[in-house]
Amino acid sequence: MSIYSDRSTVVNTLPSSTRETERTTWPALGDHKNKKSVHVAPSTSVDNLKTHKKKKPDHVHYYNQEIASHLQYRSQIRVVEEVNGEEVDMTPKLIPTSLYADQFLRFNLTFLHQMANLLTLHSRGASRSRTRSSMRTGNWGNKQSIDDLMNGITYETINFDVPAIRDKIDKEYKPQPFNKSFVKVTLRKSDFFELHSQGSTTAAKGTAEGDEVEKDNRVYEYLTAGKGKVRRRSESQAQTDILLTTSRAVNTILVTQATVSSYVSNFEMYDTVHNLHRKLSTMHSVDSIQVDAEAQTEIVDEEDDRAERGKAKSELEKLLGSPEFRNAVMFMGRTLSSNTNEGGMKRFRNFAKIDRSAPEVKYVYSMKLLFRLMPVPSRDERKAVSDVSFCRSNGDILAVAYGLYSFSSQQVPESGSVFVWSIKNPGEPERAYYYPIPVTAICFSPFLPSLIAIGLYDGRVEVRDVSSHSNSPIATSQRSTSPGCAPVVAIRWIKQVEEGDSLDFEIDPFLSLSQDGSVTRFRIIKSPFLLGFNQMTLERVEGHPEGLTVPIPPLMTCESNRHPQGLSLTTHPVQKDIYYVLTDEGCIHKCSINYQHQYLEVLKCHDGGVSVMEFSPWSPKLFLTCGSDWYVRVWIDGITRPLLELMDEMTPVHWASWSPTHSTIIVSVNRETADVWDIRRNILQPMAKHEMDSSFNTVAQFSNCGRTLVVGNERGNTLFQALNDMPFEPHFQYDELEKAIFKAIGNDHELLMELKSIGFFGYPDKTFVR
């Protein structure tokens, strides 16, 4: 590296007047080894110092010229470095003057020179010679160099305000105040005001929540932009909080009373007392006038009474047909019923639950009667409870069908009815539909909760909307599409199967099972009639099907009918296109809505008719069946042998189901009693037996919450039985169910190995699905 410069020229450029007063050697810029030194000539006196103080502005001007000359000289210097055989210009660039350079030179350097002169004056008596690196003060007693003072000056230590001592030293110089080029802003936290908040909910695709979101989006698109935009509409009313106010016309005016005189004749008094609206004709004689007056008065009275009765009857009929009057009567009935059924209503709604930390708890599996629904008999006939169904969206609403239960009954009622009850008024139904023939089956739609399908004894099917006050059905089956005339024994709604990307957003169809073994699929269309077609016709089973081994009698018997008798219908909880048909042969036919002429599987479950088939709420593979051979059997899909067999009395079991609150409890109902089984504790006998009523039991069903059992009998009464003193629900329901089943079949090694080969048989994440 080579530098083209000569530092001596810098020293020679100093003015001569300056050298006489103060000899100062300034190093070249960039030379860090040379230090600054201040020399005072011997002939300098205090007066000269005072004269020097007065000429301080000249020194300031001098130093400005000195710095300018050095900068001009440095601009002529060039630094060249050889890199890889080539010369590279490495000359440092000048540092631009900052915003505070003038302020620094004006305020701080002048102050430093004054302090240096004062230090020199105090140190003259002590020493005449000074080193270049330090100077001693007479009063302060420490050593500090000018370089240390200069190096200690930083941006934080620079004082831009004129100090008080500088005003004393130089009163002639008054610096201009410095205006800062920034604005000070102070931010403080204020109160939070929420103007609008709209939550956003997202769900992962492929999960249960994601499927629900996609379903809601499809339904919304269908109702707003699809075919559902043009749909049938009807006015309906709902119970809301009504604010009762009084109008101005209701307020009475203050009645003032006063004693005044009035003239009334005898004729006016007579007409007023007898309410004669017509004047009598001219009287010719006293006798004839009396006779004619009496006869005419009687005629007028009869005509007025007849007209008033007819008018009152028409007004009464109009009043009874008014929806507002019906709602008012219904609300009044609910209010009066709460006075006598308040305790049962609270228990049905589970207002008071037993605390798990209670000191005294007894597991006796008891039942307590809450309500008894007793309909008013029509035509003085005794009709049995043939079917019951709870509304899926509102567990307080129950539909009960009255008609024929046992088809072998010697006396068949001539009429039937469907009553829609609410626990808010157990004494009076809120909807009543009457039919000239018995009603055999009903079912609420789980997809449109206000729709209910009704099956009749002559094979007809109707669909009604219970939210409407109209007494006419929405749609009815017709003989042209459903020619069957056998009684309808079961109805089940099915979910539409999505085929590809084309979605049909019409109302979901339902399946109807007739006694002759035919399954009909009905669809609600824009017509007063249902669109129905034959889905499946059952055939009798030949040979030995899978399941129970029932010996064939040695004598060949010829059945009078080629088709078995259908008894019940069940849908699969997960696979929406699968349904099961239960027959009097003791077999379960597994069918699909995609195949109309063949079964998927046939399983022999009972030595007699199969009454009910119910899946466990904690497993889509585990189900139970009950039948006329006195047994309740528990099965699992994939094994053709029953896992458990429960039998207590030698009587047919009409109904059985899993408890929605306890995974190991099963409730079965026969003609006289209701049995509570707990397979975790005992599989040989029920934990409790309860007699329902003096009449034979027909059907039963759990409430939506699972803590109340509804049982119907042949007398037409519907009993609400609360399940009390039950064990506490396990925290892990599926684990308790699996443990109880493995414990029950522990002695059967082959069955245990088959069950273990199936593996996990519950729902994903061990959830509950009803």
pLDDT for 1-45, tens place per residue?
A: 444 443 333 333 333 333 333 333 333 434 433 333 333 333 334
Mean pLDDT of 443-469: 92
Higher pLDDT, 625 or 110: 625
Mean pLDDT of 515-519: 90
The answer on pLDDT for 140 being more than 50 is: no
Cβ partners under 8 Å of residue 698, min gap 6: 384, 385, 386, 405, 654, 712, 713, 714
- Tell me the average pLDDT of the chain: 77
CATH class name, domain 366-496+506-548+562-758? mainly beta
The tokens for 364 are 């006796």
253-262, 597-606, 663-672: segment of lowest average pLDDT: 253-262
Instruction: Tell me what pLDDT residue 51 has.
Output: 40
pLDDT for 195-222, tens place per residue?
A: 877 776 788 888 888 898 899 899 888 8
Please state, in angstroms and rounded to a whole number, the distance separating the CA atoms of residues 654 and 628: 8
Q: Are 77 and 4 in contact (CB under 8 A)?
A: yes
Cβ partners under 8 Å of residue 341, min gap 6: 370, 371, 423, 426, 427
3-12, 239-248, 302-311, 326-335: segment of lowest average pLDDT: 3-12
Going by pLDDT thresholds of 50, 70 and 90, the confidence category of residue 98 is: low
- SS3 label, residue 447: coil
For the chain, percent of residues with pLDDT exceeding 90: 31
Looking at the DSSP bridge assignments, the partners of residue 591 are: 579
pLDDT for 565-589, tens place per residue?
A: 899 999 999 998 999 999 998 999 9
Kindly tell me the burial class for residue 579, based on how many C-beta atoms sit within 10 Å of its own C-beta (0-12, 13-18, 19 or more).
buried
Instruction: Tell me what pLDDT residue 82 has.
Output: 80
- Within 231-388, residue ranges assigned H as helices are 266-274, 286-320, 323-340, 342-348
The tokens for 302 are 């009869």
Instruction: Tell me what pLDDT residue 476 has.
Output: 92
Residues in the chain: 770
End-to-end alpha carbon distance in the chain: 92
pLDDT for 423-444, tens place per residue?
A: 999 988 999 999 999 999 999 9
